[in-house]
Amino acid sequence: MKHLRRILVATDFSPLGDRALDLAAHLARKAGAQVTAVHAMAYLPHGHPYDQFESDLTTELTSRLEGSRAPLHPEWPAIVRTGKPHRVIAACAEIVDADLIVLGAGPVNRWKELTLGATADRMLRVSHRPVLLVDPRKDPSSLERLLVAVDPLEDQGRLLDQASTLASVTGADVEVLGIEELRSHYPHLDKVGPVVSDFWHALGQARVRDEGAGPNEFEGDLIERLENQVSKSPLTKLSTPVGTKFAKAPTAHEGILQEAKSSNADIIVMGTHIRNPIAAAILGSTAERVAKSLPCHLLVVP
């Protein structure tokens, strides 16, 4: 999404899907991008001829897009396919070469949280393109504050590029947040012990020491890394304010959620943040855990 040219928006014709259409249309008008809408059917209703059903839904999709005043993709304004929604959406993103995938989401119930069965959760796992999850409680046209959550120990160039593109399109103020994760609270993995407990912190300290810094310099080194990455990114060329903040939290997702709430962020921008593969396999990545609470719109950059 270094250049926002093509947007794929997924809808199921529900009010939540309409909010996704509204946000996709708003971004497209701002960026001069083209929009394709996709509707995935898990199965074809009994007694409905496929060709006629697909034609009717495609017409309805196109009509809704035109009503949103979104600039339409000339070749692929609307696509209707049968199959598992996350696979259909991912495949269509390849067809139209989407720079951004937009779909509705929302806080899920306890059962879905445990099974990770929602389309949004699955998209975060399979998509190789940026995915924007739409919070239906937020005004699609009010995108004034971006919270960019970064891992100071990793190269965040791609993430900061994407955040810069979104900020330039929306005109939003930007806060870049670096978090030192103090502990990992995964009670289901007690037997693993030190492999999980303090995994992030221990790994980070070891890496910093390998590069010549002592344990007491760990926090200062993280702050310096955060500021250096921001200073080398396109964020410095924005006309809107860009700030940096370093915080400590028990876990990364808790720190991100807390800062999003206190700063009244409109969009969180983050990577997948899979630092502990054992915990991620069972509980999901940091991005997936933030998505379950979804305090605002969430852009996840793979």
166 and 28 fall within a common domain = no
60 and 110 fall within a common domain = yes
Q: Which strands sit side by side in the sheet containing 267-270, from one edge to the other? A: 78-82, 34-41, 6-10, 100-104, 131-134, 297-300, 267-270, 145-150, 173-181, 242-249
238 and 167 fall within a common domain = yes
* Domain closes at, from 99, 134, 169: 134
CATH number at residue 263: 3.40.50.620
| Closest-CA residue to 109 (of 117, 98, 101, 99) | 117
In this prediction, residues 176-197 reach a mean pLDDT of 54
75 and 196 fall within a common domain = no
33 and 108 fall within a common domain = yes
* Domain closes at, from 86, 108, 134: 134
What is each CA distance from 212 to 67, 179, 206, 207, 219, in whole angstroms? Answer: 59, 21, 10, 9, 14
Res. 113: pLDDT tops 80: no
Alpha helices in the chain (DSSP H): 15-31, 50-67, 85-96, 110-115, 119-126, 157-170, 199-210, 218-231, 252-263, 277-283, 286-293
For 257-276, the pLDDT digits (tens) are 999 999 999 999 999 755 55
Count of the separate structural domains present in the chain: 2
- Does residue 94 belong to any structural domain of this protein? yes
For 140-169, the pLDDT digits (tens) are 889 999 999 998 878 899 999 999 999 999
pLDDT band at 219 (very low <50, low <70, confident <90, very high): confident
In this prediction, residues 165-177 reach a mean pLDDT of 96
Q: What's the domain range around 36?
A: 6-134
Cβ atoms of residues 123 and 284 within 8 Å: no
Res. 231: pLDDT tops 80: yes
158 and 281 fall within a common domain = yes
- Does residue 1 belong to any structural domain of this protein? no
Res. 277: pLDDT tops 80: no
197 and 281 fall within a common domain = yes
